[in-house]
């Protein structure tokens, strides 16, 4: 049995006995639910650290074993959120996770190339028809902008809807 599996198995035993899981066990539980960046794990697990440096050591171990991978976090967020959000909102979420600026810039650049199509699809699902008056037009524009789509893309989507 690998050390990680032993850690998970012993975590279950301690939980039943009234003991708290180790930092590694807690981190693995979080990572089993979805990808987390190192900064997210530090923030979530800081309260459970008993001795200084213990958390950093556990996260270093998990990162060395490939359980924490910043590129997978970027891909996960982009795959989950890009169908509903524009590039700016996805960038905000990636920045909030404490990911490297280069990885964020690359992901956002890829999203920008498909932003018009994604905005049209979001608009179609929400509204499906051209605005009938200025109030409806403003509502559609506000909706798309709040989803993080670029204003020039939003203008094209709403104007294109009126042409149909």
Taking only the tens place, the pLDDT of each residue in 119-143 is: 999 999 999 898 999 999 999 999 9
> Cα separation of 107 and 86, whole Å?
12
Summary mean pLDDT of the chain: 88
Residue 10 is encoded by which pair of tokens?
């012993």
pTM for the model stands at: 0.78
Residue with tokens 């409806």: 136
Pick the CATH number of 115-163 from 1.25.10, 3.30.70, 1.10.10, 1.10.287: 1.10.10
**Roughly what angle, to the nearest 10 degrees, separates helices 151-163 and 115-126?**
50
């Amino acid at each position: 049995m690998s050390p990680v599996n032993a850690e998970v198995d012993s975590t279950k035993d301690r939980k039943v006995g009234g003991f708290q899981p180790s930092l590694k066990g807690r981190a693995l539980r979080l990572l089993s639910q979805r990808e987390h960046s190192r900064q997210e794990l530090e923030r979530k697990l800081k309260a459970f650290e008993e001795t200084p440096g213990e958390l950093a050591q556990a996260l270093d171990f998990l990162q060395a074993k490939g359980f924490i991978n910043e590129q997978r976090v970027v891909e996960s967020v982009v795959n989950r959120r890009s169908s509903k959000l524009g590039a700016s909102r996805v960038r905000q979420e990636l920045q909030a996770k404490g990911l490297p600026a280069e990885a964020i810039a690359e992901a956002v650049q890829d999203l920008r190339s498909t932003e018009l199509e994604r905005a049209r699809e979001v608009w179609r699902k929400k509204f499906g028809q051209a605005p009938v008056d200025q109030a409806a037009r403003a509502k559609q524009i506000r909706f798309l902008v709040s989803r993080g789509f670029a204003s020039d893309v939003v203008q094209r989507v709403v104007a294109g809807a009126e042409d149909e």
